[in-house]
Structure 1
Amino acid sequence: MSTETIEFQAEARQLMQLMIHSIYSNKDVFLRELVSNASDALDKLRLASYTDKDLDVDVSDLHVELVTDAQARTLTVRDNGIGMSREDVVGLIGTIARSGSAEMIAQLRAAKENGGDTSPEASAELIGQFGVGFYSSFMVADRVEMLTRRAGGDAGVRWESAGEGTYTVTDEPDAPQGTTITLHLKPVDAEDGLHDYADDGVVRGLVKRYSDFITWPIRMGEDTVNSRKALWSRPQSDVTAEEYTEFYRHVSHDWQDPLETIRLSAEGTFEYQALLFLPSHPPMDLFMRDARRGVQLYVRRVFIMDDCEALVPEYLRFVKGVVDAADLSLNVSREILQQDRQIQLIRKRLVKKVLSTIRTMMDADAEKYATFWDGMGRAVKEGLLSDGDNRQAILDLCSFAGTHDPEKPTALRDYVDRMPEGQDAIYYATGDSRAALEGSPHMEAFRAKGYEVLLLTDPVDEVWVDMVPEFAGTPLASIAKGDVDLGGDDLDEETKQGFDGLLTWLGETLADEVKEVRLSHRLTTSAACLVGDPGDLTPTLEKMYRAMGQEPPKVKRILELNPQSPLVLALNRAHTERPGDEELRGLARLLHGTALLAEGGDLPDPAAFAAALAAQLERSLTA
């Protein structure tokens, strides 16, 4: 019988040390995590027995067993599920096999050492979302033993660790199928949140509180201590808010309450039941590239898979819960699900129900909606790009910052209701920050007319606005694109003719930078601004491409001049008097550079611009 001592992966070792030293204040969570893992192992074995006809296993009495020993001060959690091989143990228990684990560790360490959020909710949410709840055993145990054998395997393995830098792995030829975890418990310490987990009554109470809905029997001695009733199949009136909360925590690995619970079912040509939840805060991996998403899929109460992506679009990846379908094959794969007609119909119903729930929340509970939108709004707006069928419904439940109320975002229907007579479009501006947009020259005429402008600063805003032309029949229009006509502000012909020479000369002088120079309707105080044609990349979008390592095509913008600006009037006179003066060419480039900075663009040669500005200032001061 060979024994091997192996070092933990660095992240796993750091995580265990953080947990051992009390980043959780509620130690009871460990049992919920271990029972959930055992339940998952039973689900996977039953599914394997359906899909692999060569797998010789007994699935007649699948269950979880809890055994306490007050004298030895141990608690054992045993299941006869799928089990693990030696390779599984080293790969799954010895490491945190997920990208982003280093970020998780950094957040946990910051929470503990730098005065961050050290609440049990924050810690449990971080840990649970990375699927490493097994490590919570070390909060209550000085030593943990695990005996496991994979279903269909010839030999088992014993794993043991005190939660320090190493663990041992020993071959166990006679290990039974499944996994047995034995915790050698720390002394009871009420001040440290350590209850007597070797006491039958304590353990029974924790099972009833956290794991009552597990569909597999959880046994202590001859008794089954959980009700085993699937919440989604029980009448809604028979399920308490506490039961929904604990089930949500089970499927999401979150420790906070859900923000909203959603139930729906269908009968007829295809039948299913669904129990979904909206979280009260954004999952930590919400914007990570390889984040898990989707809901659990069951077929006639038989677990099929976690994270069924085919049922939930990516922009609703924060939705957690279960779907139990009646007519799918038990031998179904992720690839088949993508093409399955029933799955597509269920997905459509789920999406519409989630969107309508958010829309109802928007009207019925402003505080709850604000909590949701602050956390998940950026993800929802991705649906404006990917879900054309529901685009208007998504747009109707969005809210945006704007100039109407600096403290409160607005819905588009409220914006339309406030539009004064004569305004025929919903105006918006995109950029890096609210402050930059409010100070933009493009805002001047809209502010003077009293027209409200939406201030869109999320990266996704730069993309969806070009794909959404209108809301409920009212067009959306960028204040920085096109030839804005706000009505009643047309320049007289004499004014236009007086600038013809300047406009032509500036167009020739700046031909490499701008496509056109024209007089502006949108400026009231600034001398100049740059605007794009509809469909042009914005400066912010150009920066996003460069940040991703892609060089966007060069976009020439339109330079607009304010004919009432003293600077523009002076430049016009100077050009009339000395049209070939080289100094005026330098002033033209300075004018273009300041307009480029004002719109959020990047100067092609900042050093040259700074030198030219310094030289011009020197000439002004010494004239």
Structure 2
Amino acid sequence: MSDSEEYRFQVNLSGMIDILSNHLYSSPRVFLRELLQNATDAITARLDSEPGHRGEVFVELAGSGENSTLLLQDNGVGLTEDDVHEFLAMIGHSSKRGGAELLGETSFIGRFGIGLLSCFMVSDEIVMLTQSASGGPSIEWRGRPDGTYTLRKLESSLTPGTKVYLRAKPETDLFFEAGTVELDLLHYGALLPYPIRLAEGGRERRINPEPPAWIFSPNLADVHRDEVLRFGEERLGERFRDFIPLRTANGRTGGIAYVLPHAVNLNAKRSHKVYLKRMLISEQADNILPEWAFFVKCLIWTDELQPTASREHFYENEQLERVRGELGESIRSELIGMGASDQQRLRRILELHALSMKSLAVEDDEFYRMIYRWLPFESTYGHKTLGELLDERRTLYYTASLDHYRQLRHVASAQSLLVVNGGYIYEAELLQSLPRIVSGADTRRLLPEDVSLAFTDLNAEERSATLQAARAADLSLQRFRCRVLLKRFKPTELPALFTLPEEAATLRSIERAGEESPQAFASVLGSLGGSMQGSAQSILYLNLNNPVVDKLFAGPPNAKLPTLVEMLYANALMMGHYPMSRQELALLNAGILSLIDWSMESEQGGE
């Protein structure tokens, strides 16, 4: 075997910059965030050795168009010549030395050593002047996107800190305009404890306000309610009426969960603003709260989560999972507290965000026990809360699907049955588990065929008078595997009720899928459904209290009876919101044509 030789990777810096601008970062505007982060990291590092130090960031704009320049200056710890070679010239190098951080947990140029490179997205050269607080000469560093840099020791000493100069390259002058820079400085640095000052056109002003006390002590938020709501509107762009303070057990992550003032879709994208060490790291964080907490929009600050390379999201790891669970527990505990001491406030939230509350109640019996009385449901007694329904002291029948509820509500209501619609997400599960939560609660799932137990059978005389017509009606629907039964029930306005036992429903779904599937797959479905056909029958109940049905079955059957029964069958399918097969649609069309023909024949006969 020949001796191996060791080589070093060659890095194409211009290629890396293209990756930064087009793939890693969301926008070139993040260059200002990276500069601001470097500045605040440097100030934090200086505070470690000089606790009384007063940090400050100064930004100055000059020129216009392609001559626009930007200066960002901090009075932080600065860099020595060795620091410059080690940290600015080695991409991806950590700021740790023997386990100790030079500049805190986040290095001067970012944890991944690429933060400063973002400046090449808007400038063809980075000029840095720096003076270390520990002494030594002042340094001028000039970096270029081809991967080269120059270093020069200055004859005069600067005050400790760092200055970064950028000149706009073509088509990036927008990012150097005063309005854009001011918005971005406030956007990223609104919570920084150091003043950020902007000078432009002879004017100088502070950009970020002094952070309020409750920002990092969320337990104080309730005392400053109006201020907290106003702050949420400014930072999140919505007018809120309520909020919930957030805090983890170790106190390293906290925030404010603002209750959205409008209902939101369960699948709506959830996004929150998250500040890492007081710098905005993400405004689209969608994984920092549990899935059920989609009714809040949050401002969250943390110093313990690990950012990704772009520093715009967080790694999905055990630490994030713990933080997510504890923030969710903050929301849950607050809601439970409302149930005990501020029920009106809880009711207001539930009116808008019942779905989120129900999703949490399904997972958490304690929470369900606290708020069940205010959960809204649709029922044959109207839209009521679960507490109001339980106050009726009746068995709560519930349907497992929306179609079943729509099919049965009129009949059940006429029979004075209290039936709750369990067809929406989470509701059947909640109703099924209610007896475990509330002592004495009686809930039972209602199947379509169960409603027929309240129907009145025909007496012997009525059965004898309708026997022949009933048989003819039954024969007309045999090809649909549907039996016809004559009963008397309420409401009288309803001529027919179609019921579909579970096995028949399964077969019906198989056959419908077969109609819409490729031939090979349809044959498989046909074989699967063939084994079920013997026992999978539906039932069409015809209401003899209804004048149409009463007239149809008065006397012996005639030639029009099968067609009219088929029309009642099709009408019952539509009333129950059942998807119709091709054969059933054809039946409906043929029945309508027959009715038209009979009408025309009647008119011609009368001429």
| TM tier, smaller | 0.5 to 0.7
* Paired residue secondary structure (1:469): helix
Partner of 1:312: 289
How far 1:614 sits from its partner (Å)? 1.5
Question: Pick from 287, 301, 306: which aligns with 2:267?
Answer: 287
Quote the Cα distance in structure 1 between the aligned partners of 2:320 and 2:219.
31
Identity of aligned residues (%): 14
1:598 paired to 2:575: yes
Unaligned runs of 5+ in 1: 10-14, 17-29, 47-56, 85-147, 162-168, 189-194
* Paired residue secondary structure (1:217): coil
Partner of 2:375: 398
Q: For residues 500 and 616 of structure 1, do their structure 2 counterparts lie closer, same or farther at Cα, with a shift above 3 Å needed? A: same
Question: Pick from 345, 353, 375: which aligns with 2:334?
Answer: 353
Partner of 1:410: 384
Question: Pick from 111, 114, 117: which aligns with 1:156?
Answer: 117
Quote the Cα distance in structure 2 between the aligned partners of 1:359 and 1:39.
48
Where in structure 2 are the equivalents of 1:408-557 lying within 5 Å? 409-417=383-391, 419=392, 423-425=394-396, 431=402, 442-448=408-414, 461=424, 464-465=427-428, 468-469=431-432, 471=434, 472=438, 473-476=440-443, 481-484=448-451, 490-491=456-457, 493-494=459-460, 497-498=463-464, 506-507=473-474, 509-514=476-481, 516-518=483-485, 519=487, 521-533=489-501, 557=538
* Paired residue secondary structure (1:600): coil
CA contact (8 A) 1:517 1:559 kept: yes
Q: For residues 397 and 481 of structure 1, do their structure 2 counterparts lie closer, same or farther at Cα, with a shift above 3 Å needed? A: same
CA contact (8 A) 2:378 2:421 kept: yes
CA contact (8 A) 1:293 1:317 kept: no
* Paired residue secondary structure (1:529): strand
CA contact (8 A) 1:502 1:572 kept: yes
* C-alpha distance after superposition, 1:159-197 (max 9, x if no partner): 349xxxxxxx976855999997989689x9xxxxxx989
CA contact (8 A) 2:245 2:255 kept: yes
How far 1:240 sits from its partner (Å)? 2.6
1:277 paired to 2:262: no
Partner of 2:228: 244
Q: For residues 614 and 235 of structure 1, do their structure 2 counterparts lie closer, same or farther at Cα, with a shift above 3 Å needed? A: closer
Quote the Cα distance in structure 1 between the aligned partners of 2:369 and 2:461.
43
CA contact (8 A) 1:533 1:557 kept: yes
How far 1:530 sits from its partner (Å)? 1.5
Please tell me the residue identity of whatever aligns with 1:600: H
Quote the Cα distance in structure 1 between the aligned partners of 2:263 and 2:331.
20
How far 1:595 sits from its partner (Å)? 0.4
How far 1:329 sits from its partner (Å)? 10
Partner of 1:614: 593
Where in structure 2 are the equivalents of 1:65-464 lying within 5 Å? 65-69=57-61, 151-153=112-114, 156=117, 158-160=120-122, 214-215=191-192, 217-220=194-197, 226-227=210-211, 231-233=215-217, 236=220, 240-245=224-229, 248=232, 254-263=236-245, 274-282=254-262, 287-288=267-268, 291-292=269-270, 312-321=289-298, 334-337=316-319, 344=325, 347-348=328-329, 350-354=331-335, 357=338, 363-364=344-345, 368-369=348-349, 373-374=351-352, 376-383=353-360, 390=367, 395-401=372-378, 409-417=383-391, 419=392, 423-425=394-396, 431=402, 442-448=408-414, 461=424, 464=427
Partner of 2:547: 566
How far 1:593 sits from its partner (Å)? 0.7
Where in structure 2 are the equivalents of 1:7-18 lying within 5 Å? none
CA contact (8 A) 1:442 1:479 kept: no
Please tell me the residue identity of whatever aligns with 1:622: E
Between 596-605 and 301-310, the greater mean CA deviation after superposition: 301-310
CA contact (8 A) 1:384 1:464 kept: no
CA contact (8 A) 2:493 2:546 kept: yes
Q: For residues 531 and 75 of structure 1, do their structure 2 counterparts lie closer, same or farther at Cα, with a shift above 3 Å needed? A: farther
Partner of 1:98: none
Quote the Cα distance in structure 2 between the aligned partners of 1:495 and 1:276.
73
Q: For residues 598 and 58 of structure 1, do their structure 2 counterparts lie closer, same or farther at Cα, with a shift above 3 Å needed? A: same
Quote the Cα distance in structure 2 between the aligned partners of 1:286 and 1:506.
46
Q: For residues 219 and 154 of structure 1, do their structure 2 counterparts lie closer, same or farther at Cα, with a shift above 3 Å needed? A: closer
CA contact (8 A) 2:256 2:298 kept: yes
Quote the Cα distance in structure 2 between the aligned partners of 1:249 and 1:40.
24
Quote the Cα distance in structure 1 between the aligned partners of 2:342 and 2:35.
34
* C-alpha distance after superposition, 1:398-444 (max 9, x if no partner): 32456666xxx531212333x3x7x4225679658xxx98xx67344
Q: For residues 317 and 560 of structure 1, do their structure 2 counterparts lie closer, same or farther at Cα, with a shift above 3 Å needed? A: same
CA contact (8 A) 1:295 1:311 kept: no
Quote the Cα distance in structure 2 between the aligned partners of 1:78 and 1:353.
43
* Paired residue secondary structure (1:468): helix
CA contact (8 A) 1:39 1:216 kept: no
* Paired residue secondary structure (2:57): strand
Which has the higher relative contact order, 1 or 2, with Cα contacts under 8 A spaced 6 or more apart?
1
Quote the Cα distance in structure 1 between the aligned partners of 2:222 and 2:34.
27
How far 1:280 sits from its partner (Å)? 3.0
Quote the Cα distance in structure 1 between the aligned partners of 2:471 and 2:375.
44
* Paired residue secondary structure (1:483): helix
* Paired residue secondary structure (2:191): coil
What count of residue pairs does the alignment treat as equivalent?
479
Quote the Cα distance in structure 2 between the aligned partners of 1:271 and 1:155.
31
How far 1:617 sits from its partner (Å)? 3.8
Unaligned runs of 5+ in 2: 1-12, 48-54, 77-86, 89-108, 124-143, 151-161, 199-204, 309-313, 530-535, 603-607
Larger Rg: 2
Quote the Cα distance in structure 2 between the aligned partners of 1:324 and 1:196.
26
CA contact (8 A) 1:517 1:561 kept: yes
Give the TM-score, by structure 1 length.
Answer: 0.54
Q: For residues 491 and 173 of structure 1, do their structure 2 counterparts lie closer, same or farther at Cα, with a shift above 3 Å needed? A: farther
Q: What is the Cα-based RMSD across aligned positions, in Å?
A: 6.5
CA contact (8 A) 1:294 1:306 kept: yes
Q: For residues 395 and 569 of structure 1, do their structure 2 counterparts lie closer, same or farther at Cα, with a shift above 3 Å needed? A: same
